Amino acid sequence: MGKEAIIVGIGIHKFGRFEQKSAEELGQDAVIMALKDANMGFKDIQAMFLSSSGTIYPGLGPKVAYLFGRTTIPIVDVEAACSGGGACLRMAQMAIAQGEYDTVLALGVEKQPRGFLAPAVSGYEMWQALAGLDENPMYWAMKARKHMVDYGTTIEQIGMVSVKNHKNGVLNPNAMYQKAMTLEEVLSSRVVCDPLTLYMFCAPNDGAAAVILCNQKAAKRFTNKPVILASCAHRLNPYPELDVGNYFGYKTGNKPVTTLAALDAYEKAGIGPENLSLVELQDTDASAEIIFSEELLLCKEGEGGRLVSDGITELGGKLPISTDGGIISKGEPVGASALGQVYEVVLQLKGMAGPRQVKNAKVGLCHVRGALGHSCVTILKT
Amino acid sequence: MAKQVPFKVGMLTTPLTPLENVRLKGIKCKSCGAIALGERQYCINCTSDNLEAIVLGKTGKVYSHTTILHPPPPPYPQETFKPFPVAWVELDEGLFLLSELTDCALDEVKIGMAVELVLGKGWEDQEGNEVIMYKFRPIRKGE
């Protein structure tokens, strides 16, 4: 266990739209906060990984670092679509485990335009764009409809996910939307792709989040409230993937990537879904929370809708999901969102989540799922 | 007459005229049995190179569906946009295919609905060629 990475510092730049700020500045703010949290200076960082979806320009890692002054430490930029932050954290974790570094920084930064993502960002080919078969929400709408028909999941249950996450978002000063919504408001908002409505979706936006990892020995110098990175798994989706970017598939019986990454993470951590105090997952849309809670094995297949309608996933419920409001409230700065989840879970495990604190939080899980089949599952414990 | 080209190389049988004889092409893996659309060197499911080319049939059913209500981002032509239904179609061979549904009212689509392949002009490419694209339409009783 001596090779476990310890989280000694976390920082965040509020998720939202910040036209006056460059991507580097967003990243710098998150790093300053994480360095303060860890009582260290940038010169204490020995290696750095930066996650961005590549919508801005390459080389963002060094550019953020140089704002603190020229450095000669190795810095590598990582891209894994909506799972980029998780992939980046895994790189940092491996750098610690490998033994060469005592302190490693994982930083996620994103700046994005409003509205649907440009076709190339999600990996579409030109003919898909010309055929109009390149709107990400259509895939999620079709998944939602299939889930409703197969398992009796209701549109009200899907809407309740959005209501819950917006309610939690009110308590999170770093969320883009800090506004409660009624079920009626969610269900009657503009239809994006039927059966899903506007207030059931997350919006791409800007933001940054930073996590500083240490090995166990070095961690003692920087924190007296260590949070252990128990496992961080990254997998890609097997065939078929009836999701973003794809246009064909075949029933193979393969498990979906979220389940594969979760099984990896549970096994490496020696922790099962029954041990979790809270979960952050990829609520790209409200139905995704229901489907992913099943794929993360938090409940049986088809019972995800009941988790929300029975109040299990509410703040104060048996297994709160997205206590920070999820990306439905925070918005999704693609390369930074996974580290934003880690930020929330670390706060919770340290008992510092204020009005949204989960009682006796001991173990938390973070899940992201992105284009091209990427998914990461991270488990943190006290 | 404009030259006709497929929406993507290797996806359609040739020649492209007459259109009613054209079908979607795929490969079937002799090792694991998985089917994929188009030409491939390796099986998308198991990486085997023991593959056979197949021609896919015209018919299938709607696995799930939704509606494109808002114009897809450019380069999709913005000014001519009208909402249209899309579906994951499950072909009789078991292949899922993402497709626009044509000749079909928005509220007509149901999961399990029988559909058939139609090929026609999708758009023009930069050289002025007619790009042949696939869609599916409902098979109605009595047709």
> Which of chain B's residues have a Cβ under 8 Å away from the Cβ of A125?
8
Spatial strand order of the sheet with B51-55 comes to B35-37, B25-29, B51-55
pLDDT at A51: 97
Coil, strand or helix at B7: coil
Measured distance CA(A282)–CA(A319) in Å, rounded: 16
In a domain, B75, yes or no: yes
**Residue B44 sits in the same domain as residue B66:** no
Substitution target from B7, B88, B107 for chain A, most A beta carbons within 10 A? B88
Q: CB distance from B65 to chain A under 8 Å?
A: yes
Mean pLDDT of A299-328: 98
pLDDT at A112: 82
**Residue B84 sits in the same domain as residue B103:** yes
Q: What is the pLDDT of residues A170-181, one digit of tens each?
A: 999 999 999 999
In a domain, B40, yes or no: yes
**Residue A106 sits in the same domain as residue A24:** yes
Coil, strand or helix at A230: strand
Residue A116: pLDDT above 80?
no
Q: How many folded domains does chain B comprise?
A: 2
Burial class (CB in 10 A: 0-12, 13-18, 19+), A126: middle
H or E segment and range at residue A92:
helix A84-98
For chain B, percent of residues with pLDDT exceeding 90: 92
Residues with Cβ within 8 Å of residue A265, at least 6 apart in sequence: A231, A232, A233, A365, A377, A378, A379
**Residue B110 sits in the same domain as residue B69:** yes
**Residue B67 sits in the same domain as residue B95:** yes
Q: How distant is the Cα of A202 from the closest Cα of chain B, in angstroms?
A: 17
Q: Is the Cβ pair B73, A116 closer than 8 Å?
A: yes
| Selection from B62, B54, B33 nearest residue A254 by Cα | B33
**Residue A216 sits in the same domain as residue A145:** no
Q: Is the Cβ pair A250, B45 closer than 8 Å?
A: yes
Neighbours of A104 (CB within 10 A): 26
- Paired with A12 in beta bridges are A209
Measured distance CA(A148)–CA(A114) in Å, rounded: 30
| Selection from A127, A118, A139 nearest residue A201 by Cα | A139
pLDDT at A118: 64
Residue A2: pLDDT above 70?
no
In a domain, B45, yes or no: yes
**Residue B86 sits in the same domain as residue B121:** yes
Q: What is the pLDDT of residues B68-84, one digit of tens each?
A: 999 998 889 999 999 99
Q: CB distance from B87 to chain A under 8 Å?
A: yes
Q: What is the ipTM of this complex?
A: 0.96
pLDDT at A120: 61
Measured distance CA(A253)–CA(A258) in Å, rounded: 14
Residues with Cβ within 8 Å of residue A126, at least 6 apart in sequence: A119, B75
More confident residue, A116 or B38: B38
**Residue B63 sits in the same domain as residue B106:** yes
**Residue A328 sits in the same domain as residue A184:** yes
**Residue A176 sits in the same domain as residue A212:** no
> Which of chain B's residues have a Cβ under 8 Å away from the Cβ of A238?
45
**Residue B108 sits in the same domain as residue B49:** no
Q: How distant is the Cα of A143 from the closest Cα of chain B, in angstroms?
A: 7
Residue A50: pLDDT above 60?
yes
In a domain, B30, yes or no: yes
Q: Is the Cβ pair B66, A254 closer than 8 Å?
A: no
| Domain encompassing residue A371 | 124-202+230-381
**Residue A222 sits in the same domain as residue A264:** no
Q: Is the Cβ pair B76, A134 closer than 8 Å?
A: yes
**Residue A9 sits in the same domain as residue A150:** no
- Structure tokens of A31? 């790093």
Substitution target from A122, A126, A130 for chain B, most B beta carbons within 10 A? A130
Taking CA–CA distances from A248, the nearest residue in chain B reads B97
Q: How many folded domains does chain A comprise?
A: 2
Q: Is the Cβ pair B75, A247 closer than 8 Å?
A: no
**Residue A145 sits in the same domain as residue A255:** yes
**Residue A65 sits in the same domain as residue A136:** no
Measured distance CA(A272)–CA(A332) in Å, rounded: 27
Q: Is the Cβ pair A191, B64 closer than 8 Å?
A: no
Cβ-Cβ contacts under 8 Å between A and B: the total is 115
Substitution target from A250, A251, A252, A285 for chain B, most B beta carbons within 10 A? A250
**Residue B93 sits in the same domain as residue B48:** no
Residue A114: pLDDT above 90?
no
Q: Is the Cβ pair B72, A115 closer than 8 Å?
A: no
Taking CA–CA distances from A116, the nearest residue in chain B reads B73
Coil, strand or helix at A278: strand
Contact A278, A326 (CB under 8 A): no
Pairing of strands B114-124, A278-280: unpaired
Between positions 4 and 23 of B, the ones with CB within 8 A of A are 7-8
Q: CB distance from B69 to chain A under 8 Å?
A: yes
Query: Which of A130, A192, A248 is the closest to B36 by Cβ?
Result: A248
Q: Token match 């809407």: residue?
A: A159
Mean pLDDT of A122-144: 93
Q: Is the Cβ pair A127, B7 closer than 8 Å?
A: yes
For chain A, percent of residues with pLDDT exceeding 70: 96
Residue A275: pLDDT above 50?
yes
Measured distance CA(A376)–CA(A282) in Å, rounded: 10
Taking CA–CA distances from B97, the nearest residue in chain A reads A248
**Residue B65 sits in the same domain as residue B39:** no
Neighbours of A22 (CB within 10 A): 16
CA pseudo-torsion sign A322, A323, A329, A332: negative
Strand positions, DSSP E, chain A: 5-16, 47-51, 75-78, 103-110, 191-193, 196-197, 206-214, 227-236, 248-250, 278-280, 363-369, 374-381
Coil, strand or helix at A199: helix
Q: Is the Cβ pair A130, B73 closer than 8 Å?
A: no
In a domain, B143, yes or no: no
pLDDT at A1: 46
Query: Which of B38, B65, B94 is the closest to A142 by Cβ?
Result: B65
pLDDT at B142: 73
| Domain encompassing residue B118 | 4-20+58-138
In a domain, B38, yes or no: yes
**Residue B48 sits in the same domain as residue B13:** no
Alpha helices (H) along A131-204: 136-151, 155-170, 183-188
Q: What is the pLDDT of residues B2-51, one digit of tens each?
A: 899 999 999 999 999 999 999 999 999 999 999 999 999 999 999 999 99
Query: Which of A142, A191, A239 is the closest to B64 by Cβ?
Result: A142
Contact A290, A321 (CB under 8 A): no
Contact A194, B70 (CB under 8 A): no
Q: A309: domain CATH number?
A: 3.40.47.10
With vertex at residue A217, the alpha carbon angle to CA A212 and CA A219, rounded to the nearest 5 degrees, is: 30
pLDDT at B143: 63
**Residue A91 sits in the same domain as residue A143:** no
Substitution target from A248, A254, A285, A287 for chain B, most B beta carbons within 10 A? A248
pLDDT at A292: 98
